Amino acid sequence: MRLDKFLKVSRLIKRRTVANEVCDCARVFVNNNPAKPAKQLKVGDIISIEFKNAIKKYKILSIPQNNVPINLASELYEEIKE
């Protein structure tokens, strides 16, 4: 699954267009490398997102085939605390 679509489906970022913009501004990293919106993800990848005042890291636990219900979205990843 593409990075921008995963960010939307997992509800880490609300809209896919916003996910594209954030990736284009080099504020999203996959395994510590700057990532483009079309980056293909796999289970175990680490996504880092630079927000205004913090950097959040998430480990991908599963890749869905389609959209998932809002109550299951948080099961796609786990937040890495540092």
Q: Which residue has the tokens 């990736």?
A: 23
**Measured between alpha carbons, how far is 43 from 70 in angstroms, rounded to an integer?**
20
H-state helical runs in 1-82: 3-9, 16-24
**Res 17: pLDDT:** 94
Q: Which domains does the chain have, with CATH numbers?
A: 3-80 (3.10.290.10)
Model confidence over 32-78: pLDDT tens digits? Answer: 999 999 999 999 999 999 988 899 999 999 999 888 999 899 899 99
DSSP 4: H
**Res 52: pLDDT:** 86
What pTM was estimated for this model as a whole? 0.90
Per-residue pLDDT averaged across 16-31, rounded?
A: 94
**Measured between alpha carbons, how far is 51 from 1 in angstroms, rounded to an integer?**
23
